[in-house]
Structure 1
């Protein structure tokens, strides 16, 4: 008998060890983390934040489109009509004008000023200069095992098999982010960038724009950025350095990690600092990084082939950002952006919802859409973004720094987020530009999507073309092996205060089971905290996959677990043992599987 619809799905990956002695080794209960919200770096109130500046684009025939003095006069006139103090701030690289409102304006006052500009037939567009924020999710801890995201069969991106075709040599990737903190596993591939943060407070380095793209740290004190953001004191993220390492960390140097495009160069372009970054600064960074002209900024000697933007904010794609992106694409650069970490439709997040970009969702180590990842019809592709809630081994390991505020010693840490997924695609794009220097941004996107493979796990809401496959995209080897799967779909009732078991007979697998045996579980049961779930090997060795929890009142267990079963023989009868430890709620084992 079917029970009420799924109240909250559990998608977790835990690790245990099956010991030859039969000793059960308990692992972290995945259900304990399901109800906890994932902290994204975008405040919920972004859409209602006060407005300090506007970005005004004039029609090509308007005097204000070419003359700063005319733009200054127009700002003052509009201010006079609306009772506000407006002034010309600067001209952006796209030709648009940044207008200073003199003070933070509330929603209504800002709308009145924007309406005055929109009523002018010489104005093509006017949008607020909004802040955007790094889209990484705060990691739990640092632990390095291996870069499963590059080569693991289940949900890796099949990168090593693409390296026979290209390694990114001669390709330039701009990382539009928090800047760069020196790291010996990356510095050989870093070229000089630029700091586009114009507000000295946000820059946090003692000044505004300059040619030094070093990351001084983006730590924040509780509430110092307005709208009660952040909600708690934060440490520096070194976000841009983590992103850059995924793209182009040096390889075959005897330490650290391998970058996807390890012979490419990365150019740090700093737009995110204390309290995030602004639309105007990001627009100029996009323009400059792709080889366009920005007033008052020296020309870029290393215009990028690929732009990575692991950043975003809520709202529709504004005309100013779209114009900067269009300019970059017209100059031949592919623009890769993170879909966002709000477990929501990416259509509500900028620049993920802009045109002419490759919007990237995040997958976990099992190939499911990561629980935090945005989704939807505007997502183009999915790439590994990791999930560190259960173990940092399931996150994306990359270059970082140990400093909590200012830079300290270099290190490595596991992060999770669409910020981590996007540089996987930027690195893949870099491989494509080396393999075919005449390739266009549209061809890059089309090839990545047409060579994707289906996600091995589940995706609700839309994950684009599937999981990116580097080897298939570069014409290397085909998709990685999927393994042999054994399934039992016979329902087994789980009465109150009872232990039941469901069996699978494994045949044809020689030797011991793998070190990463996958156990897929689908149990329909109200108040799943009643349940303890164990896997039992043919020799009687057992491991706890999920323990009971009096605080987990959600329904159903739909999960994939991983155990190290290398100490036991594969062939024989395996059992899924389920104990209902409390009265009042019942259910049944719907199905379960073993993947060798």
Structure 2
């Protein structure tokens, strides 16, 4: 079946969230990895138009607002100018012809991306500050992330949540036909851990309570999305001047599989703009059964910090992935078991487990470091995160340098 044009909305419903599809790995579209040189990109656009007869749009067409697939109309391809990557939606036969044509493009399938499945907990109560806030020493840090822009790319955000009244919040949805409002809950939970403050009883659950929140909706209300939406969100966060970018999302990686070049391009672009990126290592393991899955994509990229999950006993979460592949290392660990945080109303709060819950802890702590060192580069903040981490009596392939600790 011929895939839809990039701007047609059947893509979201038919190619990603079909219940009968059993969590598909690919969308049916493809990325062409181009040379990042502007001249080479222009030549690639001409080749796509003239030789292959494709209708091409570029991210440069979106000057005031971020790229929106609903505005692409009948485009066959979208070129991400900043990244040197083109997204192509054409029939399989044409893709095969392009692969055989000797154009020199690396052609790879676009991934379907999912939330890193959260594991519900029976305990939905906070007791004073949460154990994650205590053990990372965020409770006693003199820093709040004040003035630091922190982006969380996820299922959106319940902006009217009462705990965030009066906070600086900037939001954008990259999911076609879905506004920023989080009808899933995962995004609101992650934002609560990274940037929240206290619950209605005054009990602390958020790390960087003074940060400027940038909520990017890149996954649908059903918890899945297209890789291009994540690339759009990453580029948006970098261009908006966010110092920290948190992504509790991913796609499974096979043993021996290398990192995704499109994601790495986006991560390098973000770093060049001063943005540090953290991502969830993934929840595909069952350690109690001696089953270990590789670090998920995009956390396995060299330019992204992969975060593992530990419990309150400082042991690795049973689900937390391991550094199985050479290109997918675990960088650091954080609390990720029985984490209490914000949730869309009327529930207001929820307790979950997963590397999704560990990642925003590190994002919030990175924001505290950026407040402490306002002129620091992402590389300098990464170095501070590593130096300040608490060494654990666990293998580095499971927890990296250890437990992330907030600055004094």
TM-score, normalised to structure 1, is 0.54
The 5-angstrom pairing of residues 59-70 of structure 1 reads 59=35, 60=37, 64-65=41-42, 68=45, 70=47
Query: Shift of residue 61 of structure 1?
Result: 6.4
The 5-angstrom pairing of residues 510-589 of structure 1 reads none
Question: Aligned to 1:94, which of 83, 93, 98?
Answer: 83
Query: Shift of residue 347 of structure 1?
Result: 4.3
Match of residue 234 from structure 2: 286
Match of residue 356 from structure 2: 419
Match of residue 33 from structure 2: 57
Aligned partners of 1:177 and 1:311 also within 8 Å: yes
Q: Are positions 1:245 and 2:245 aligned together?
A: no
Match of residue 446 from structure 1: 383
The 5-angstrom pairing of residues 32-47 of structure 1 reads none
Match of residue 175 from structure 1: 152
Query: Shift of residue 279 of structure 1?
Result: 1.4
Query: Shift of residue 188 of structure 1?
Result: 3.0
TM-score, normalised to structure 2, is 0.78
Aligned partners of 2:113 and 2:251 also within 8 Å: yes
Q: CA–CA distance in 1 between the matches of 2:387 and 2:263?
A: 27
Q: Are positions 1:150 and 2:133 aligned together?
A: yes
Per the alignment, do residues 68 and 139 of structure 1 end up closer, same or farther by CA in structure 2, a change over 3 Å counting?
Answer: same
Per the alignment, do residues 140 and 258 of structure 1 end up closer, same or farther by CA in structure 2, a change over 3 Å counting?
Answer: closer
Query: Shift of residue 62 of structure 1?
Result: 5.6
Per the alignment, do residues 183 and 113 of structure 1 end up closer, same or farther by CA in structure 2, a change over 3 Å counting?
Answer: farther
SS of 1:192's partner is strand
Match of residue 495 from structure 1: none
Per the alignment, do residues 167 and 463 of structure 1 end up closer, same or farther by CA in structure 2, a change over 3 Å counting?
Answer: same
Question: Aligned to 2:96, which of 112, 116, 120?
Answer: 112
Instruction: Structure 1 unaligned segments of length 5 or more: list them.
Output: 1-42, 78-85, 206-211, 218-235, 292-299, 387-394, 402-407, 477-596
Match of residue 246 from structure 2: 308
Q: CA–CA distance in 2 between the matches of 1:61 and 1:452?
A: 40
Query: Shift of residue 312 of structure 1?
Result: 0.7
SS of 1:431's partner is helix
Query: Shift of residue 194 of structure 1?
Result: 1.0
- The two structures, once aligned, show a CA RMSD in angstroms of 2.9
Question: Aligned to 1:381, which of 332, 336, 360?
Answer: 332
Question: Aligned to 1:321, which of 238, 263, 271?
Answer: 263
Match of residue 71 from structure 2: none
SS of 1:370's partner is coil
Match of residue 189 from structure 1: 167
Q: CA–CA distance in 1 between the matches of 2:278 and 2:26?
A: 29
Question: Aligned to 1:464, which of 384, 400, 405?
Answer: 400
SS of 1:383's partner is strand
Q: CA–CA distance in 2 between the matches of 1:336 and 1:430?
A: 12
Higher strand share: 1
Per the alignment, do residues 469 and 347 of structure 1 end up closer, same or farther by CA in structure 2, a change over 3 Å counting?
Answer: same
Provide, for residues 438-491 of structure 1, a one-character-per-residue CA deviation record: whole Å limited to 9, x for no partner: 1111121222112222336x5585310111222xxx2x3xxxxxxxxxxxxxxx
Aligned partners of 2:243 and 2:275 also within 8 Å: yes
Q: CA–CA distance in 1 between the matches of 2:331 and 2:271?
A: 16
SS of 2:90's partner is strand
Instruction: Structure 2 unaligned segments of length 5 or more: list them.
Output: 1-19, 55-73, 286-290
Question: Aligned to 2:49, which of 72, 81, 102?
Answer: 72
The total of aligned residue pairs comes to: 352
Provide, for residues 284-321 of structure 1, a one-character-per-residue CA deviation record: whole Å limited to 9, x for no partner: 11011111xxxxxxxx4xx2110000111023322111
Higher helix share: 2
Question: Aligned to 1:342, which of 274, 278, 284?
Answer: 284
Aligned partners of 1:87 and 1:101 also within 8 Å: no
Aligned partners of 2:33 and 2:86 also within 8 Å: yes
Aligned partners of 1:136 and 1:239 also within 8 Å: no
Per the alignment, do residues 65 and 138 of structure 1 end up closer, same or farther by CA in structure 2, a change over 3 Å counting?
Answer: farther
The 5-angstrom pairing of residues 230-241 of structure 1 reads 236=184, 238-241=185-188
Query: Shift of residue 411 of structure 1?
Result: 1.2
When Rg is computed on C-alpha atoms for both structures, the one with the higher figure is 1
Query: Shift of residue 269 of structure 1?
Result: 0.5
SS of 2:83's partner is coil
Match of residue 343 from structure 2: 400
Query: Shift of residue 247 of structure 1?
Result: 1.2
Query: Shift of residue 53 of structure 1?
Result: 1.0
Per the alignment, do residues 418 and 187 of structure 1 end up closer, same or farther by CA in structure 2, a change over 3 Å counting?
Answer: farther
Question: Aligned to 1:351, which of 290, 298, 312?
Answer: 298
Question: Aligned to 1:370, which of 317, 323, 340?
Answer: 317
Q: Are positions 1:139 and 2:123 aligned together?
A: no
Per the alignment, do residues 374 and 50 of structure 1 end up closer, same or farther by CA in structure 2, a change over 3 Å counting?
Answer: closer
Match of residue 138 from structure 2: 159
Provide, for residues 540-565 of structure 1, a one-character-per-residue CA deviation record: whole Å limited to 9, x for no partner: xxxxxxxxxxxxxxxxxxxxxxxxxx
Per the alignment, do residues 278 and 65 of structure 1 end up closer, same or farther by CA in structure 2, a change over 3 Å counting?
Answer: farther
